[in-house]
């Protein structure tokens, strides 16, 4: 049994981590750390946790405590999940790492390797260049070996995970033009976090649908970095991916409909499908969808799966990817990364 | 053509008034008044009004202006709809009335005749006893004549309107025991107003359902007053109505399932139904539902109708009432009242 | 007052027509015609119509009657709205037209000029070539004059209306490459009609989102025809539009996010916006959205408006269009067409 | 490891069983049995199961096979979950039991002890009196010991489970009048099953809310039997419970708001609460809610918990109970029962 901590458990990714970790055979939540002055009981913050905070290794203490690396270390914690704001993550990760505690960071703090790009996208300085340098991008399907030996893993964004899983096999095989990619995405409202904002009330966002952050969303540079890094290198001045997210009137789930043109000749759906199947053969959390029905949110909600499908129309390619933004897009993938970092079965606790 | 004003058009009842008034054959919105320091254009506040602000009598000026009785009077306004907080309504109504402007108040300020009860329910002092004394309760089906000659009408609450329409015929006919009434109600989230509150986000209130304010909701004394006043007088120390509202994951609509026991013998559904039909014969906005299907929200959304049905089980009576909380439960009924106060067809603009 | 008929009032477009027509100052529904053997009362079929079937010209008879051109003519009907299946529309339109009754057909029967394309898309023979030849496409913003004098108007599809309004000004001005257009669309479930199908239940389609008919939807040829006809002629063997619809978990509303590349140089958002504004200056039902917020479903639901916005990113153009599929995408536009055909104000009854 | 079978896995309770059983430490689904002529792969029937059909004991065969007791026995199955229609359950249970296979029946076939009452409620004859006689009612909190040694367990209905958990402690303590009970309930649409029915489409049931089966729902006699059997015996001719269910526009979750009058004196909320807490002290799946917030659907969705709260108002008592109709109201409780019948920890696989 490995004790773990959650820093920032009062947001939706923190709640989702707890929901999954109570079922994990080997991890036990030993410390809940909050920056709030009045530290809540997590089962009062989220009544749905009442009576359920018990892992295979005994009861989980529902009381949140201060963010205190020494106390976290004293609790025997070997790995910490950071569900903090970006700046707080950069602030606390160094101390935890210095205390010998591995870190899976669910914020964006360590995702973008180029600090200038990060700072432009997120609007604040990056204050931890040292750890940024060795942080590993936590996309196991494309970076598994590095994750295994990493001490700090930057858990990917929800949109970038779906985009990467769908697009990378096409890029890697040189089938599509990297300058032609459009990621049209739609996400449930939990992706916007737990804070009450005027456009996120039921009246405003229920029964509604709209685009936002067209071409300027923070996940666009992350998607670009992932495509450039794990796919085919892009010609120097080729145009980048165009990312257009939309807000869906649902709690959870992301569907991306991705458009690209081939690198020349028309391609057959069957050939593209084969590429996907080869890329993800044996992957436990990627389901390549053959047949007529394409992925839906319902196919992936409350699971750690990504479903992908592909269609070709002459020189045009359409990829569809679906995942649960709180699971494979956040907390599930975080556990997948933790499993790798701690030497457990990658699928442990993720059934 | 009669010029009217809306005070507080930036909330949901203000928006709903505008949606209906653009279709009214005789009323024209001549003044939009807001307490906000930075006065918005109403078609920027609500983009769905863009290009639609035109009545039969010409374009409606989308600019909000200060709440200024003199300016409102100067604009020729004959009647003002108050969509303000309760205390602001009490503050502004006297000046408007003194300027010869009739008032339909959509807040609760003038609904409860007994100031002590009002102050206990709403938690602030009542500051306009004078106008409270002559304010008429704007439930046309039970107070039509008084409304016609009123200068100040207190537009009823959404829940109380549904309860009154369903229960009063039974009380009036002496069929049910007034001490036995339970009003189990469910409302869409627009009833909670436009302010973003943590429990009203899509994530928290979508896919959800819960009771709130059990037995202590502010509409309970209003329901009680209405039943006592227009129904059968209740024995001195008889228990009052028990009101239990719930929050539905929809934008709009109220459904009330009302329980009571008969005043003695078992009753037949057919007899109760006949009582309802007699009570509302010729009423343009009450539909008594016979047949098997009972009222649903979908039957009344975006209409000024109340649908009512009844079932008996021995000595037990179940009444069902449905209405749209923003229409018959607020802005539609306000226009219905304005029509009466100004001598128009009661149904004008409410098709 | 002009008597009109609705053929097929028991579907969602029929219901929507009735909801609007009760408010129309000059049209009166004089005949409801159904192919059902057991003809229902329309206010029992749709209880929300109960007590509301009255126009400015008197009560509307709620009883459905057989589809019988002679009886319809005898009722004085001058124009018929056809809300029938495509094949039934082709069957009944000729008789109505021969009886001197104008027709607005809400099916697809007369939309596609090329019979071969129609038959491939819809899977049945076209049986009325004669009327197809003179049918006018009912998109007033681009075909107003022809509609005014038409006896048969093919009311456009919901998706094609949104696509046309957004794309045509760009094509007309030669700003975008017609071979580059991708229409990524999302629609509420009412677009799929009233029949209960397994994938349309609340459990399956609520909280869900998915693509369907990728690249093979019946509206793709209609969009293509409209772009070719009212926009810039496409080079002979240029690739056509790629249309990818999605199913939203809402009742009504369409949002289209449209991608294209410029015809050469990078363009500025401001220039594209100006083009839109010029194209729709004075149009009562098109709102060009400036400013940061892009169109949402909530902006257009229950209105006859289309909202459009545009963004440019170098050589890429993103257009957003929103409308209510049952109003501007069907019944509202049908009334707009009827107004033109009968010489009324184009906006009559559509406030 | 104990092999189990699911008969009828293509409905929502079958799917939910599979979702939970893949996480069970000791049970392994060894046989999926369907009555369909064309037997599907369950991961094609429900794409969300793709790639996830693996328990701690190895892969689960996704192929459905015929309902054949001999084959089921040959697969080593020790317990079968029946997710079949009521009549099919009565048909197959005897053979399975005769083959030595224990049965948890999720239909209503063995819930009502009095055949006449069953036949009146369900409209078909009861064909297995023999097994009905010894079937145990699977409500562990009130019948745990009998379940442990049962060979056939009738898994309770969803509504009756919530009602029983909330009401029984009050009845048992003699605090409320059994003749005064009203169960006002609301359920998500999954409770109506997977078949597409006109009133269950997204358009009809989304954004909607309505009562149905008022006073005549099949669960009313089941609730009555449970209250009579595990609570206080009701006076011979006392009126029974009145049950009024409503359909919520959500996938899953039941909330019951239950009304009763005390057996005489006014009671304090604190005393009633204490009674609930005593009744469920140590129960793993019942959470008694103290504090101001009452149970919501969101508190219990996707968990096997029932949340209960109580309020008193003089001689009136209001109880609130929430559960997930597919988990504690069906498949979760079925696993809880199976755990008891097979000697496992009652909570196994239900975290």
Consecutive H or E run containing D119:
helix D115-122
Q: Chain A: residue nearest B195 by CA?
A: A198
Mean pLDDT across chain C, nearest whole number?
97
Is the confidence metric ipTM above 0.95 for this complex? yes
- pLDDT (average), residues B93-103: 98
Say yes or no: C196 and C117 in one domain: no
Q: Is C12 on the interface with D (CB under 8 A)?
A: yes
Residue C234 — very low, low, confident or very high, per pLDDT cuts 50/70/90? confident
- B170 lies in the same domain as B83: no
Lowest-pLDDT range of B1-10, B259-268, D232-241: D232-241
Maximum Cα–Cα distance for chain A, whole Å?
62
Q: How many residues does chain A have?
A: 351
Q: Judge: B48–C300 Cβ closer than 8 Å, yes or no.
A: yes
- pLDDT, average across residues B135-146: 98
The domain total for chain C is: 2
- Confirm or reject contact between D327 and chain A (CB < 8 A): no
Could you tell me the pLDDT band of residue A239, with boundaries at 50, 70 and 90?
confident
pLDDT of residue C326: 98
Does position C337 have pLDDT exceeding 90, yes or no? yes
Same domain, A111 and A231: no
Query: Would you tell me how many other CB atoms lie within 10 Å of the CB of residue C290?
Result: 13
Whether residue D50 is found in the same domain as residue D193: no
Query: Whole-number mean pLDDT of chain B?
Result: 97
**Is there a single domain that holds both residue D174 and residue D41?**
no
pLDDT band at A154 (very low <50, low <70, confident <90, very high): very high
User: Measured between CB atoms, does C70 come within 8 Å of chain D?
Assistant: no
Per-residue pLDDT of chain D (351 residues; tens, 9 = 90+): 999 999 999 999 999 999 999 999 999 999 999 999 999 999 999 999 999 999 999 999 999 999 999 999 999 999 999 999 999 999 999 999 999 999 999 999 999 999 999 999 999 999 999 999 999 999 999 999 999 999 999 999 999 999 999 999 999 999 999 999 999 999 999 999 999 999 999 999 999 999 999 989 999 999 999 999 999 777 877 889 999 999 999 999 999 999 999 998 889 999 999 999 999 999 999 999 999 999 999 999 999 999 999 999 999 999 999 999 999 999 999 999 999 999 999 999 999
Whether B333 is in a domain gets the answer no
* pLDDT category of residue B2 using cuts at 50, 70 and 90: very high
Residue D236 counted as domain residue: yes
pLDDT number for residue C239:
83
Exactly one of B53, B93, B158, B317 is catalytic; which is it? B158
Please give the torsion angle defined by the CA atoms of residues A146, A150, A154 and A158, in that order, rounded to the nearest 10 degrees: 50
Give pLDDT tens digits for B22-37: 999 999 999 999 999 9
Q: Which residues of C touch B50 (CB under 8 A)?
A: 287, 289, 299, 305, 307
CB contact (8 A) between residue C12 and residue D203: yes
Residue A348 located in a structural domain? no
Identify the closest residue of chain D to C206 by CA–CA distance: D202
Residues B192 and B125 occupy one common structural domain: no
Q: Which of A209, A316, A322 sits opposite C248 (nearest CB)?
A: A209
Q: For residue D104, what is the domain's CATH number?
A: 3.40.50.720
End position of a domain, from candidates A134, A168, A196: A134
B197, closest residue in chain A (CA to CA): A196
Last residue of a domain, one of B86, B101, B134: B134
The reply to whether B166 touches chain C by the CB within 8 Å rule is no
Residue A300 lies in a domain: yes
| Residues D163, D128 share a domain | no
Beta strands in D62-205 (DSSP E): 64-66, 79-82, 102-105, 136-137, 152-154, 182-187
Say if residue B118 is in the same domain as residue B200.
no
In a domain, B140, yes or no: no
| Residue B307 neighbours by CB under 8 Å, 6+ apart | B287, B289, B295, B299, B300, B320, B321, B322, B323, C47, C50
| CB atoms near residue B196 (< 10 Å) | 16
Q: What is the pLDDT of residues C143-156, one digit of tens each?
A: 999 999 999 999 99
Interface test with D, best of C201, C206, C297 (most D CBs within 10 A): C201
Query: Are B305 and C47 a contacting pair at CB < 8 A?
Result: no
Tokens representing D134 are 């010894």
pLDDT-based confidence at B255, cuts 50/70/90? very high
Are the Cβ atoms of D51 and A300 closer than 8 angstroms? no
Question: Are B250 and A200 within 8 A, CB to CB?
Answer: no
Terminal alpha carbon distance of chain B: 18
| C210 → closest Cβ in A182, A295, A314 | A295
Q: Looking at the structure, do residues B130 and B174 belong to the same domain, yes or no?
A: no
| pLDDT band, very low/low/confident/very high, at C233 (cuts 50, 70, 90) | confident
Q: Is B193 on the interface with A (CB under 8 A)?
A: no
Q: Are C178 and C300 found together in one domain?
A: yes
pLDDT at A264: 84
How far off is chain A from C198, nearest CA to CA, in Å?
14
In this prediction, residue B49 carries a pLDDT of 98
Please tell me if residue A269 touches chain C, with a CB cutoff of 8 Å.
no
Give the residue numbers spanning the domain of D231: 159-325
Which residues in chain D have their CB less than 8 angstroms from residue C200's CB? 196, 201-203
Candidates A23, A207, A300; nearest CB to D48: A300
Among B134, B169, B201, the domain boundary falls at B134
> Is the confidence at residue A235, as pLDDT, over 90?
no
pLDDT tens, position by position, A307-327? 999 999 999 999 999 999 999
Catalytic residue, from A158, A189, A309, A310: name it.
A158
d(CA A300, CA A278): 21
Q: Does C142 reside within a domain?
A: no
Joined together, the tokens standing for residue D183 give 């169960």
Tell me, yes or no, if A158 is annotated catalytic. yes
Mean pLDDT of B209-220: 95
Compare CB distances from B198 to A190, A196, A250 and report the shortest one's residue: A196
pLDDT at residue C236 greater than cutoff 80: no
Interchain contact, B202 vs A198, CB within 8 Å: no
pLDDT tens digits, one per residue of A246-291: 999 999 999 999 999 999 888 999 999 999 999 999 999 999 999 9
Interface check for A141 against chain D (CB to CB < 8 A): the answer is no
Instruction: List B residues 287-316 in contact with C (Cβ-Cβ < 8 A).
Output: 287, 289, 291, 293, 295-296, 298-303, 305, 307
What tokens were used for A6?
A: 């959650």
The sheet carrying D242-247 orders its strands as D210-211, D242-247, D182-187, D254-261, D316-323, D306-313, D286-288
Determine, for residues D311 and B214 on separate chains, whether the beta-carbon distance falls below 8 Å. Answer: yes
Higher-confidence position of D74 and C235: D74
**Is residue A272 in a domain?**
yes
pLDDT digits (tens, 9 = 90+) for B151-183: 999 999 999 999 999 999 999 999 999 999 999
The DSSP 8-state label assigned to residue B41 in this structure reads: B
Averaged pLDDT, A50-77:
97
Domain with residue A300: its CATH number is: 3.30.360.10
Q: Are residues C109 and C178 in the same domain?
A: no
CB atoms B299 and C22 under 8 Å: no
Q: Which of C194, C203, C209 to mutate to test the interface with D (most CBs of D within 10 A)?
A: C203
User: Please, are residues A326 and A16 in contact by the beta-carbon 8 Å criterion?
Assistant: yes
Q: Which residues of B touch D255 (CB under 8 A)?
A: 209-211, 246
pLDDT given for residue C201 in this prediction:
98
D228 found inside a domain: yes
Q: Please compute the mean of the pLDDT values over residues C120-147 and round it to a whole number.
A: 98
C48/B298 CB distance under 8 A: yes
pLDDT tens digits, one per residue of A258-267: 999 999 888 9
Does the beta carbon of C210 lie under 8 angstroms from any beta carbon of chain D? no
The whole-angstrom separation of Cα D345 and Cα D281 is 17
Buried b (16+ CB within 10 A) or exposed e, C236-263: eeebbbbbbbbbbbbbbbbbbbbbbbbb
pLDDT band, very low/low/confident/very high, at B233 (cuts 50, 70, 90): confident
Q: Residues A63, A17: one domain?
A: yes
Task: Identify the burial level of C35 via C-beta atoms within 10 angstroms of its C-beta, where 0-12 means exposed, 13-18 middle and 19 or more buried.
Answer: middle
Mutate to test the interface with D, among A25, A51, A59, A141 (most CBs of D within 10 A): A51
């Amino acid at each position: 049994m490995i004790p773990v901590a959650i820093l920032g458990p009062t947001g939706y990714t923190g709640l989702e981590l707890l929901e999954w970790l109570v079922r994990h055979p080997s991890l036990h939540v030993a410390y809940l750390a909050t920056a709030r002055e009045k530290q809540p009981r997590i089962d009062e913050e989220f009544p749905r946790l009442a009576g359920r905070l018990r892992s295979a290794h005994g009861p989980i203490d529902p009381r949140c405590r201060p963010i205190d690396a020494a106390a976290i270390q004293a609790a025997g914690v070997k790995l910490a999940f950071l569900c903090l704001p970006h700046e707080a993550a950069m602030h606390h990760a160094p101390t935890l790492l210095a205390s010998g505690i591995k870190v899976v960071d669910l914020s964006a703090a360590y995702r973008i390797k180029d600090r200038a790009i990060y700072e432009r996208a997120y609007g604040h300085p990056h204050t931890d260049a040292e750890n940024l340098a060795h942080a590993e991008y936590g996309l196991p399907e494309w970076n598994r070996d590095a994750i295994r030996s990493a001490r700090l893993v930057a858990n990917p964004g929800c949109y970038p995970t779906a985009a990467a899983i769908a697009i990378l096999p096409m890029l890697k095989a040189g089938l599509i033009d990297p300058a032609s990619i459009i990621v049209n995405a739609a996400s449930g409202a939990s992706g916007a976090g737990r804070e009450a904002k005027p456009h996120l009330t039921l009246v405003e966002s229920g029964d509604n649908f709209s685009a936002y952050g067209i071409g300027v969303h923070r996940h666009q540079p992350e998607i670009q970095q992932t495509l450039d890094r794990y796919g085919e290198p892009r010609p120097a001045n080729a145009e980048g991916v165009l990312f257009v997210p939309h807000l869906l009137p649902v709690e959870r789930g992301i569907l991306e409909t991705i458009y690209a043109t081939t690198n020349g000749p028309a391609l057959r759906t069957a050939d593209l499908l084969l590429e996907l199947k080869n890329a993800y053969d044996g992957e436990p959390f990627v389901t390549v969808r053959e047949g007529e029905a394409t992925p839906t949110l319902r196919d992936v909600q409350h699971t750690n799966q990504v479903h992908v499908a592909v269609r070709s129309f002459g020189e045009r390619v359409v990829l569809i990817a679906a995942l649960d933004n709180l699971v494979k897009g956040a907390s599930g993938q975080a556990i997948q990364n933790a499993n790798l970092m701690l030497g457990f079965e990658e699928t442990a606790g993720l059934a």
